[in-house]
Chain A
Amino acid sequence: MNNSNFLKIMKLALTLTVICVVAGGLLALTYAATEKQIERQAKIEEMKSSREALPAVKKADGFKLGNDLAAQARKKHKDIVKIYEGFDDGRKVGWVVQVAPRGYGGPVSFAVGVDVNGKVAGISLIENKETPGLGQNIEKPEFRGQFEGKSESDPLQVGEDIDALTAATISSKAMALGVREALLALKMLGGR
């Protein structure tokens, strides 16, 4: 390789490096500036959905994350994401189980609130990529309300005690599966 060729290649590499370093620096700055806010938003969202699922908890600080609970539950029920214990004035009022069963467009993540009697207190959707206008209708109270008051002894099967949404059977089944897993996991943990 002659000298001028070498210099040319070095120049290319150098330009590319300088631009990448500057870009990297800018990204680091943006990340640092938004990191706290993103974390805060995620926390707010999670608390909001937890309280919607388990309204018996009156204050946002009434949820205690049960880290090992979820890890234990996941061994048998793989769709369990997190388990919160819910307290009101120091008295235990139930659990919020975050599940993410597979739907039509990837995981459907939602929170299932369960009261101390093992009955579903409420469901609150966190994130999903179901079809808008069809599968996304699982967030409508007419559908998710069907699960309220159900317990682990109910079949919780689409076609038996749960009516599927028109043209969204897979999304409907995903939610039924998630609720079933949440209740079974709590039973396994001896939670009630």
Chain B
Amino acid sequence: MANMREVWEDFKNGLILENPLLRLMIGLCSALAVSTRVENGIFLGIGATFVLVCSNIMISALRKVIPDQVRIPIFIVVIASFVTIVDLTMRAYFPAIYARLGVWVPLIVVNCIVLGRAEAFASKYPVVRSAADGLGMGIGYIGLLVVMGVIRELFGTGKILLFDKTVISLGTVFQPPTIMILFPGAFLVFGFLMAFLNWIQNRG
């Protein structure tokens, strides 16, 4: 059985030290695309985290019976099943958000974070540690989506909307530069965040 310290380390890993977006630099495509709004980031992040945790648990539990030669197709089947469950559930119970996330929900299947963690972690370690790894990676993913969403939505549209309520507004004096919510804005924000993290870590 895994001890608590190990589990905690595995969980903590994904938050900053091996943050999937800022450090491993995987799963960027969806992150750059949906971070135009905080709300989108939260919901896609929750969906992806659910898939990540479930698929990590399932793959870890099956790791002794999965033959090495066909492991990738099996990973994909497991991941795709959980993604479809998320997809159908979201469509049934959160139609408004589903409409906005659109294609990005089914595309969690090809989010490298999920397959990456299955291959690099879940297929080698026991269930509890794999679950912790999935959860940590998922929260690291949500965290960065939210940070990027806050920056891009606030400066790109002049306000932040959560559940149709304005949470923060910069007022009408501020002319939002629309580049922030377009793709170049995503790259700029992401680049600066990465530089910022490097700067902090290099300072010791």
Q: How far is the CA of A12 from the CA of B93 in the complex (A)?
A: 38
Indicate if A20 sits at the interface (CB-CB under 8 A).
Answer: yes
Binary interface profile of B, 147-178, with partner A (CB < 8 Å = 1, else 0)?
00000000011000000000000000000101
Interface stretch among B61-69, B119-127, B190-198? B61-69
Chain B residues contacting A34 (CB-CB under 8 Å) are 88-89, 91-92
Q: Check A19 against B74 for contact (C-beta < 8 Å).
A: yes
Chain B residues contacting A23 (CB-CB under 8 Å) are 77-78, 80-81
Q: How far is the CA of A15 from the CA of B85 in the complex (A)?
A: 22
Q: Is the interface of A mostly helix, strand, loop or mixed?
A: helix
Known contacts A19-B74, A20-B77, A37-B92; is-contact A12 B99 (Cβ 8 Å): no
Q: Check A16 against B74 for contact (C-beta < 8 Å).
A: yes
Q: How far is the CA of A134 from the CA of B36 in the complex (A)?
A: 12
Closest to A127 in B: B99
Known contacts A16-B74, A19-B78; is-contact A131 B181 (Cβ 8 Å): yes
Q: Check A27 against B99 for contact (C-beta < 8 Å).
A: no
Q: Check A38 against B88 for contact (C-beta < 8 Å).
A: yes
Indicate if A41 sits at the interface (CB-CB under 8 A).
Answer: yes
Known contacts A20-B77, A133-B156, A134-B178; is-contact A30 B67 (Cβ 8 Å): no
Indicate if A7 sits at the interface (CB-CB under 8 A).
Answer: no
Chain B: interface residue total (CB-CB under 8 A): 30
A26, A41, A129: the one within 8 Å of B91 (CB): A41
Indicate if A1 sits at the interface (CB-CB under 8 A).
Answer: no
The CB with the most chain B CB atoms within 10 A, among A26, A27, A30, A127, is that of: A30
Q: Check A16 against B73 for contact (C-beta < 8 Å).
A: yes
Nearest-neighbour CB distance to chain B for A51, whole angstroms, equals 17
Q: Check B178 against A133 for contact (C-beta < 8 Å).
A: yes
Q: Check B88 against A11 for contact (C-beta < 8 Å).
A: no
Q: Is the interface of B mostly helix, strand, loop or mixed?
A: helix
Chain B residues contacting A11 (CB-CB under 8 Å) are 67
Nearest-neighbour CB distance to chain B for A169, whole angstroms, equals 14
Q: How far is the CA of A131 from the CA of B156 in the complex (A)?
A: 12
Indicate if B184 sits at the interface (CB-CB under 8 A).
Answer: no
Closest to A42 in B: B95
Indicate if B84 sits at the interface (CB-CB under 8 A).
Answer: yes
Binary interface profile of A, 122-134, with partner B (CB < 8 Å = 1, else 0)?
0000010101111
B66, B91, B95, B182: the one within 8 Å of A15 (CB): B66
Q: Which of A13-37 contact B (CB under 8 A)?
A: 15-16, 19-20, 23, 26-27, 30-31, 34, 37
Nearest-neighbour CB distance to chain A for B166, whole angstroms, equals 15
Q: How far is the CA of A37 from the CA of B88 in the complex (A)?
A: 10
Binary interface profile of B, 68-108, with partner A (CB < 8 Å = 1, else 0)?
01100110011011001100110111010001001000000
The 27 listed contacts between A and B (C-beta, < 8 Å) are A11-B67, A12-B67, A15-B70, A16-B77, A19-B62, A19-B77, A19-B78, A20-B77, A23-B77, A27-B84, A30-B84, A30-B88, A34-B88, A34-B89, A42-B95, A45-B95, A131-B182, A132-B157, A132-B181, A133-B36, A133-B157, A133-B176, A133-B178, A133-B181, A134-B178, A134-B181, A167-B178
Query: Contacts A16-B70, A134-B181 given; 4 further ones with Cβ under 8 A?
Result: A16-B74, A129-B102, A133-B181, A134-B178
